[in-house]
Amino acid sequence: MNLRDLHYLVAVADLRSFIQAADQCCISQPTLSTQIKKMEDTLGVQLFERTNKKVMPTEVGEQIIASARRILLDVDTIGNLAKQAQDPLAGNFRLGAFPTLSTYIFPGLVPKIRQALPKLRLILIEEKTDILIDQLKQGQLDAALLALPIHDDYLDTQPLFEDEFYLAVANDHPMAVRETVAQSDLFNQQLLLLDEGHCLRGQALQICQMNHAEEQQDVRATGLETLRQMVRAGTGITFMPKIAIRKPEEGIRYIPFVEPVPRRTIALVWRKTSARKKLLKLVSALLV
């Protein structure tokens, strides 16, 4: 058993398909299947349950796959340490962010990084928070922009900025004449929210629950831009983070909250074991 075999093992586990894993590993499917079977014979255990429709790790297979991930991550760390000793500000840098942030922060961040860190090859990933955290822990990301709090002893965080929420209403909505709103003004209001899985949805629901507001049950948006258009169409009102606000914008009013202002704290998050802390400090400074 060697590192190549561990890569095969993890690929099958991730993709749940021998055919797709073989394509990813640039080998034939029979070769991949043979190597996995050799691993099973060597270890004396079955790693995957196989049917015509799916591939699923066995219980012991899950444990062995988790160990394989750790080994590959350690090997990757060794390689990164060697590269960074030569030039800590060069090489690939994989940065993730959740959808209600990435669309608005990446366009300004990319030119800053290119100017300040010209040798860095920036790889951007947009995913939901839970997936980004999992990718961080598995070593598939170097860092991610996430909303605090993050409860994980394996990860380190550097708070960057506060992103205040505004109340977004259509121009003809009764609240559109207001210069400011208070959270108490949300009492008995119905708000448009994002679909399940978005961290902004969880934050908005907390604000609603604290102020006895409700979610509109008949409609949800899959993204912040869709939510914006529904507000413009008069479908309802919603929270809009400051980073996503464009002014002036026809058909919509963004009304600021008086204190206490609802907000989210955006942080750069990375593994505590990361060997790229010098680079992470520089990237953090560019984001403040």
> pTM of the prediction?
0.71
Domain chopping of the chain, boundaries: 3-83, 90-160+265-287, 162-262
pLDDT at 95: 96
**Residue partners of 188: CB distance under 8 A and separation at least 6:** 212, 213, 214
Beta bridge partners of 158: 268
Residues of the chain with pLDDT under 70: 84-85
Tokens of 106: 């990446």
- Which residue type is seen at 68? A
pLDDT at 283: 93
**Residue partners of 124: CB distance under 8 A and separation at least 6:** 95, 96, 97, 102, 106, 110
Fold of 3-83: Arc Repressor Mutant, subunit A (1.10.10)
DSSP string for residues in 75-96 = HHHHHHHHHHHH-TT-EEEEEE
pLDDT at 80: 72
**Two domains, one topology: 90-160+265-287 and 162-262:** yes
Beta bridge partners of 269: 144, 157
- Give the architecture (CATH level 2) of 162-262: 3-Layer(aba) Sandwich (3.40)
Fold of 90-160+265-287: D-Maltodextrin-Binding Protein; domain 2 (3.40.190)
pLDDT at 26: 92
